[in-house]
Amino acid sequence: MNLVLVDDIIARYRWEKAAIIAILQDIQREFNYLPQEALTYAASRLAIPLTQVYSLATFYRAFSLKPRGKHLITVCLGTACHVRGAVRILEKLERELGIKAGETTDDMRVSLETVNCLGACALGPIVVIDGQYHGQMTSVKTDSILKKLRKL
Amino acid sequence: MVSLTIDGNVVQAEERTPLIKIAEKLGIRIPTLCYHPALEPYGTCRLCTVEVVKKGRARLVTACNYPAEEGIVVHTKSERVIKARKLIIELLLSRCSKAKVIQELAEEYGVKEPRFGEGDEDCILCGLCVRVCSEIVGANAISFTSRGIDREVSTPFHIASEECIGCGACAYLCPTDAIKLEDIKGTRKIERWDTSRPLQRCSICGNYFAPVAQLEYIKNRLNLPEEIFQNCPNCRRKSYAEQVAALGHI
Ligand code: SF4
Ligand code: FES
């Protein structure tokens, strides 16, 4: 693993311990997940106990300790999305992709995740695909999105 | 100094003293699970719930971290407190139905079958182990991880921690006895943290007496005579006693 990349990221934040969350975000952007080696290295470079870094990394849903697929699908299961049928959308995605929420397809193409509110409840149910928000999701819309994703 | 009332006793206390300390001095017992006088209060088990009346309004607070304020009236055994505490115990019992401390509390408070099922978790997430490891020992081998229903105490990545010195402070403080510590044939094992640490043999009696890593850890921090790291406390005591006895003959 290229730990120089981690060094670069930390240097961008001037070895500031308080920037740990931003640093973790950047590490995740770089490697597509939070590799154990990178976390251990960052903790020692910043002189933060590894326990603290690990607590943070496992606390936020946005972080993943497992390699993620090329594409990331996040289904919002917040209250508003929930009552508008988000669970059905999620089940459909799970069926179509052959994985459960929190998993990645074997070919490492798609990861499926859930989140407990994106703060855009009026658009519910919402599915975020590679950072793009898709509101008022329906079963039909899910199909067309999956079709597009397969072509990417 | 501020003046406050606890269960009818008017007392003076240093401002911001946690209520539990004031109650203790008065001989009023408030049950606790996550509190330890040597550690920062954490307020997580809620068992120490008491009622505080301030400017005519009463509310439930946790005595282990609620600071003394001028003029407040505290009730530690009011009907409302007991009712709340019973519910807390019931919830704890639902999580850890096999833990002895919780069973004893349930017995004391007359909590029968918990309505929310009988889980067999052994950890109540009180955080005593985490806090002693970071605040007192300074090893930072374990911490809370994940959140919500997945929250638990573990080493980073759930693998043996290099930081753990095998001191066993966590096991010693755990109220539910969830951390098992075993010394077998020169090795200390703490199964929950997936850790084994070799033990040091006493140079006099040959018994194992402390993890090597712990002795190293102390050595690096404190300037103590070498024999502390070579000989077990028993043999040291004996040899001191002999030295003192020898003095007596002079
Ligand atoms: S393992 Fe024991 S001391 Fe640690 S949080 Fe759980 S109950 Fe508390
Ligand atoms: S002892 Fe006060 S909340 Fe646990």
Atom of ligand 1 nearest to the CA of B122: 7
User: Which of B49, B80, B108 corresponds to the end of one domain?
Assistant: B108
Q: Is B141 on the interface with A (CB under 8 A)?
A: yes
Reported ipTM: the value is 0.86
| Together in a domain, B148 and B210 | yes
| Together in a domain, B79 and B137 | no
**How many percent of chain B have pLDDT more than 70?**
99
User: Which of B61, B76, B108 corresponds to the end of one domain?
Assistant: B108
Q: How far is CA B14 from the centre of its chain?
A: 25
What is the structure's pLDDT at B247?
81
| Together in a domain, B141 and B234 | yes
User: Vertex B208, ends B206 and B211: CA angle to 5°?
Assistant: 140
**Edge-to-edge, what's the strand order for the sheet holding B57-62?**
B9-13, B2-6, B73-75, B49-54, B57-62
How far is B145 from B141, CA to CA, in rounded Å?
12
* Mean pLDDT confidence for B99-111: 97
Closest CA to B78 of B34, B114, B28: B28
Inter-chain residue contact B147 with A36, CB threshold 8 Å: no
Domains of chain A: 3-59 (no CATH), 71-151 (3.40.30.10)
What is the structure's pLDDT at B13?
96
The yes-or-no verdict on residue B248 having pLDDT over 80 is: no
CA distance to partner chain B, nearest, from residue A11 (Å):
24
Q: Which of B135, B145, B165 is most worth mutating to test chain A (most A CB atoms within 10 A of its CB)? A: B145
How far is B235 from B229, CA to CA, in rounded Å?
12
| Together in a domain, B79 and B167 | no
Q: How confident is the model at residue B250 (pLDDT cuts 50, 70, 90)?
A: low
C-alpha dist (Å) from residue A43 to A34, A39, A123, B150: 12, 6, 39, 23
Q: Dump the DSSP string for A29-91.
A: HHHSS--HHHHHHHHHHHT--HHHHHHHHHH-TT--SS---SEEEEEE-SHHHHHTTHHHHHH
Helix (H) or strand (E) holding A11: helix A3-12
Q: How confident is the model at residue B86 (pLDDT cuts 50, 70, 90)?
A: very high
Q: Is B147 on the interface with A (CB under 8 A)?
A: yes
Computed over every residue of chain B, the mean pLDDT equals: 95
| Together in a domain, B163 and B83 | no
- Averages of pLDDT over runs of 10 residues in chain A (152 residues) are 94 96 96 96 97 97 90 94 95 95 93 92 93 93 90 78
* Mean pLDDT confidence for B33-62: 97
How confident is the model over B181-194, as pLDDT tens digits? 999 989 999 999 99
* Mean pLDDT confidence for B3-7: 97
What is the structure's pLDDT at B245?
85
Closest CA to B139 of B215, B214, B222, B200: B214
How far is B73 from B53, CA to CA, in rounded Å?
5
CATH assignment at residue B58 = 3.10.20.740
Q: How confident is the model at residue B41 (pLDDT cuts 50, 70, 90)?
A: very high
In a domain, B176, yes or no: yes
Q: Which of B134, B157, B158, B165 is most worth mutating to test chain A (most A CB atoms within 10 A of its CB)? A: B157
What is the structure's pLDDT at A61?
84
Contact (CB, 8 A) for A42 and A23? yes
What is the structure's pLDDT at B249?
63
Domain range enclosing B211:
128-248
Q: Which amino acid is at A53?
A: V
| Together in a domain, B59 and B147 | no
